[in-house]
């Protein structure tokens, strides 16, 4: 394996291959960025494949051919989607998607693959900002820059390492660099299997439906597995108290029921988000994150939502109490923390952290979560992956699985974070190297059920096998109590693939991703 040393802007040599770096002319520096740009000659031939890691959990991340075109939203859809903030789920509002064949970009790491040889470029420190890699196959130039956003005024030095070798060699080398240089090390969590309520009932959950799901699942799940209650239990996004119309016994009663079956209890929340009509906004309008003098509209879920300002002492005190209640009073073992990118859409332009970049703010937000959760388990979701390294136990590495294969044509054009089983398969496959290195990968739930689903039996099984093979977090969202003999046997097979990483035939992936 070659360790390619990158020191400032000096030319470097790695084995046969020379990787040249040069300073970029100021007018070529993209608008998101301030000072430090590294340019590397990384020629590629038509047989090479390239990978650029997407902005956050849900952003489509797959290997591309040098002549592929990666699109964001069509301009007209961008315009139509503007009032809904459709671009704000991803990086569409702060990075440039050239949409020319051969132009790609990604965050924190990227690689070129020539057969089995990977040339990996990766950041070993994102605490001063996101490292953005942009590539143009026509020139063979890879630009590496720190995302400053407008107004960031901080140290923007790059912390890049590069390696050439086999898949395991280069990813092991990167993670050893992360540990020695930045102290980033995966948390010692164990793989976890179980159930999530979301893709079974979506937000339509009550104490009764959750109890019925628990009855069914506990017949099949094993001791120590996870039963996770998703979105729908709370008073509103922002007010993390039980909705007593739906959960009159309160959430502690659910935890006790789950524990009495020998299962771990998990709960969903989106701690940095607050829905438009939440009582929290009426009580504390000053807690919202402001940009250009107005609260930053973060997206259209739950009728529209905003972000909380993690620099507001009231917000910090409030969230600390929320976690104390959920984890210590109610006794949940795991929290699924979602829509985390909400915390840092922009650099910090006020207060004591003035001038920090959005990536730096995101890392700070993730550290706060770990502090508030102590040693309880965190599943990160809707989160930029680099800032989650070493801080969450489990992390969703792809978009939401959908009940159909690839969503509607129209939705596919909206952004790169859409709900899609097909994309979820690609994401989980192409981010597989993070599993067990950065955290344990959550590929999202699989389905074996035949009702309330549009996936064909083949699609369901393909997806489930990818989840079992490449994930360390293996949840389903079926009424497991209704599994027939065949489904029980399929479930047992999947657990077996998952537990012993027994190789299963995934040759279909070639055509798919």
Of 267-296, which residues contact ligand 9PG (CB under 6 A)?
268
Helix (H, G, I), strand (E, B) or coil at 199: helix
Q: Tell how strand 109-114 and strand 117-123 pair up.
A: antiparallel
Q: Which is nearer to ligand 9PG, 125 or 417 (CB)?
A: 417
Judged by CB under 6 A, which of 17, 30, 235, 301 binds ligand 9PG? 301
**447 is a contact residue toward ligand 9PG (CB under 6 A):** no
Under the binding rule (CB under 6 A), the answer on residue 91 touching ligand 9PG is no
State how far the Cα of 59 lies from the Cα of 56, in Å rounded to an integer: 5
Minimum distance from residue 381 beta carbon to ligand 9PG (Å): 5
Q: How far is the CB of 58 from ligand 9PG (least distance, A)?
A: 5
- Alpha carbon distance 51, 63 (integer Å): 4
Closer residue to ligand 9PG (CB): 36 or 275: 275
What is the four-CA torsion angle of 190, 224, 460, 212, rounded to 10 degrees? Answer: -150
Strands (E), 42-87: 49-52, 63-64
CB of 467 to ligand 9PG, least distance (A): 13
Of 152, 184, 381, 480, the one binding ligand 9PG (CB under 6 A) is: 381
Q: How far apart are CA 444 and CA 399, in angstroms?
A: 8
Nearest distance, CB of residue 221 and ligand 9PG, angstroms: 19
Name which of 175 and 305 has its Cβ closer to ligand 9PG: 305
Between 257 and 338, CB nearer to ligand 9PG: 338
394 binds ligand 9PG (CB under 6 A): no
**Binding pattern for the stretch 11-50 against ligand 9PG, x by CB under 6 A and - elsewhere:** ----------------------------------------
d(CA 205, CA 219): 20
Residue choice 51, 52, 55, 89 for contact with ligand 9PG (CB under 6 A)? 89
Among positions 48, 338, 393, 442, the unique one binding ligand 9PG when judged by CB under 6 A: 338
Q: Which two tokens stand for residue 401?
A: 């699985």
- Reduced to 3 states, what is the DSSP secondary structure of residue 77? helix
- Between CA 104 and CA 414 the distance in angstroms is 18
- Comparing CA positions, the residue from 383, 323, 377 lying closest to residue 359 is 383
Q: Is 400 in the site for ligand 9PG (CB under 6 A)?
A: yes
Q: Does 305 bind ligand 9PG (CB under 6 A)?
A: no
Smallest distance, Å, CB 361 to ligand 9PG?
21
As to burial, measured by CB atoms within 10 angstroms (0-12 exposed, 13-18 middle, 19+ buried), residue 78 is middle
Between 452 and 491, how does the x/- string for binding to ligand 9PG read (CB under 6 A)?
----------------------------------------
Among 111, 124, 195, 198, indicate the residue that binds ligand 9PG (CB under 6 A). 198
Total interface residues for ligand 9PG by CB under 6 A: 12
Choice between 322 and 419, CB closer to ligand 9PG: 419
Least distance (Å) between residue 484 CB and ligand 9PG: 26
C-alpha closest to that of 227 among 277, 177, 267: 267
Nearest CB to ligand 9PG, comparing residues 335 and 419: 419
Distance CA 362, CA 95 (A): 17
What b-and-e string marks burial along 194-214, b requiring 16 or more CB atoms within 10 Å of the CB? bbbbbbbbeeebbbebbeebb
Q: What angle in degrees, to the nearest 10, is found between the helix axes of 457-470 and 485-500?
A: 30
- Cα distance between residue 105 and residue 472, in whole Å: 27
Among 417, 435, 442, 478, binds ligand 9PG (CB under 6 A): 417
Tell me whether residue 235 is exposed, middle or buried, using C-beta atoms within 10 angstroms of its C-beta: 0 to 12, 13 to 18, 19 or more.
middle
Where along the sequence are the contacts to ligand 9PG (CB under 6 A)?
58, 89, 198, 230-231, 268, 301, 338, 381, 400, 417, 419
């Amino acid at each position: 394996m070659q360790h390619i040393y990158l020191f400032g802007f000096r030319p470097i040599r790695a084995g046969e291959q020379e990787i040249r770096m040069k300073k970029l002319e100021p007018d070529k520096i993209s608008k998101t960025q301030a000072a430090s740009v590294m340019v590397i000659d990384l020629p590629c031939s038509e047989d090479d494949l390239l990978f650029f890691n997407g902005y956050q959990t849900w952003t489509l991340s797959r290997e591309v051919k040098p002549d592929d075109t990666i699109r964001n939203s069509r301009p007209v859809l961008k315009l139509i989607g503007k009032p809904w903030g459709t671009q704000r789920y991803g990086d569409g509002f702060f990075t440039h998607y050239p949409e020319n064949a051969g132009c790609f970009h990604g965050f924190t790491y990227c690689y070129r693959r020539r057969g089995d040889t990977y040339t990996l470029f990766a950041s070993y420190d994102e605490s001063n900002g996101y490292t953005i890699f942009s590539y143009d196959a026509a020139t063979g130039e890879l630009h590496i820059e720190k995302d400053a956003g407008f107004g960031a005024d901080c140290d923007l030095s790059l912390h890049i390492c590069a390696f050439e070798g086999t898949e395991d060699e280069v990813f092991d080398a990167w993670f050893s660099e992360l540990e020695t240089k930045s102290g980033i090390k995966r948390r010692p969590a164990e793989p976890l299997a179980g159930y999530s309520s979301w893709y079974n009932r979506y937000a339509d959950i009550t104490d009764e439906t959750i109890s019925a799901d628990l009855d069914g699942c506990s017949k099949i799940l094993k001791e120590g597995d996870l039963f996770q209650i998703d979105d729908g239990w709370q008073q509103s996004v922002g007010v993390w108290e039980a909705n007593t119309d739906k959960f009159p016994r309160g959430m502690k009663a659910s935890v006790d029921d789950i524990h009495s079956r020998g299962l771990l209890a998990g709960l969903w929340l989106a701690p940095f988000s607050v829905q438009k009509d939440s009582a929290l906004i009426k009580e504390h309008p000053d807690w919202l994150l402001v940009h250009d003098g107005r609260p930053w509209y973060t997206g259209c879920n739950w009728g529209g939502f905003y972000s909380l300002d993690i620099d507001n002492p009231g917000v910090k005190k409030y969230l600390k109490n929320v976690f104390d209640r959920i984890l210590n009073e109610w006794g949940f073992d795991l929290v699924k923390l979602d829509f985390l990118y909400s915390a840092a859409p922009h650099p910090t332009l006020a207060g004591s952290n003035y001038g920090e970049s959005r990536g730096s703010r995101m890392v700070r937000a993730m550290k706060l979560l770990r502090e508030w959760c102590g040693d309880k388990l965190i599943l990160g979701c809707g989160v930029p992956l680099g800032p989650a390294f070493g801080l969450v136990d489990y992390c969703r590495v792809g978009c939401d699985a959908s009940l159909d294969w690839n969503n509607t044509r129209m939705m596919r054009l909206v952004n790169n974070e859409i709900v899609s089983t097909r994309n979820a398969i690609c994401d989980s496959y192409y981010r597989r190297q993070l599993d067990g290195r950065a955290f344990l990968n959550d590929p999202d739930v699989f389905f074996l059920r035949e009702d309330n689903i549009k996936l064909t039996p083949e699609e369901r099984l393909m997806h489930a096998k990818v989840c079992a093979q490449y994930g360390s977090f293996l949840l389903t969202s079926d009424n497991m109590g209704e599994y027939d003999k065949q489904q029980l046997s399929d479930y047992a097979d999947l657990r077996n693939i998952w537990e012993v990483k027994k190789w299963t035939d995934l040759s279909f992936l070639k055509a798919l991703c």
